[in-house]
Amino acid sequence: MNCAHELANNVVFQDLGLTNYKTAWEYQEAVFKKILNYKTGKSSVAAACHLLFCEHPHVYTLGKSGTKNNLLINEQFLKKINATYYKTNRGGDITYHGPGQIVGYPVIDIEKLKFSLKEYIFRLEEAIISALKEYGIFADRLAGATGVWLDTTEKSKTRKICAIGVRASRYVAMHGFALNVNTDLSYFNYINPCGFTDKGVTSISKELGKQIDLNETKEILKQKIAKTLGIQLMG
């Protein structure tokens, strides 16, 4: 199953469970480099594309285009709330990851799927929007911002339910999305989420007023991502 050749639509799925951010990042990087090295002829070993799901312990991550000023607390307070902080190589600004949030990391060759980076991000957003419809939540895109949002036509009510940040090199993509399902939203109070100071955040559980079966949401997401990207998940 190599994604840099004729089986571009075969993607290995793995659920890593609750995983330290750094561990998941290093795992992504290893897969990313294998795909890139095979694609560029630096390695003769075929590399499989992956879709990774996980949850992270409380962590704030800052993208390449972000500013640390959007983290509103110091290192001492980070320890107090049992959270960590990383500056990453993805796009976007600052966001929060934590238990009850599904983080998805597709590590794939989007060129073989015939997507530009812009279309790939559009399709990731579309998969999330489609998944949310299964819960009766009607989400949309927000002009000038990535991710998935609710009530985009009412500025005072606009809130983000899913963040998206991607890194790509030679059309091999990594990082991905973070969908708030049963997320403790109080952790967003310590940042300007994605650099915004006038937008709120929400979760599926907050919108529906009940706890959500995370495994059920994962299955819905898998189906929607596979359909929207035109891939077949293995494993």
Convert the pLDDT of each residue in 120-129 to its tens digit.
Answer: 999 999 999 9
Spatial distance between the Cα atoms of 122 and 175, rounded to a whole number of angstroms: 15
Spatial distance between the Cα atoms of 220 and 216, rounded to a whole number of angstroms: 6
Convert the pLDDT of each residue in 144-154 to its tens digit.
Answer: 899 999 999 99
Say what the pLDDT of residue 139 is. 97
Spatial distance between the Cα atoms of 151 and 64, rounded to a whole number of angstroms: 28
Mean pLDDT, to the nearest integer, of 81-108?
95
Say what the pLDDT of residue 192 is. 85
Domain extent listing, the chain: 10-234
Would you call 194 a catalytic residue per the annotation? Answer: yes
- Per-residue pLDDT band at 92 (split at 50, 70, 90): confident
Say what the pLDDT of residue 115 is. 96
Name the token pair of 47.
């590399």
Look at domain 10-234 and name its CATH class.
alpha beta
Among 3, 54, 162, 194, the active-site one is 194
Residue 45, CA atoms < 13 Å, CB-side half-sphere: 7
CB 163 within 8 A of CB 122: no
Say what the pLDDT of residue 4 is. 42
* pTM across the whole model: 0.93
Render 33-101 in DSSP notation, one character per residue. HHHHHHHTTS--S---EEEEEEE-SSEEEE-TT--GGGB-S-HHHHHHTT-EEEE-SSSSSEEEE-TTE
CB 14 within 8 A of CB 104: no
Is the pLDDT assigned to residue 6 strictly greater than 50?
A: no
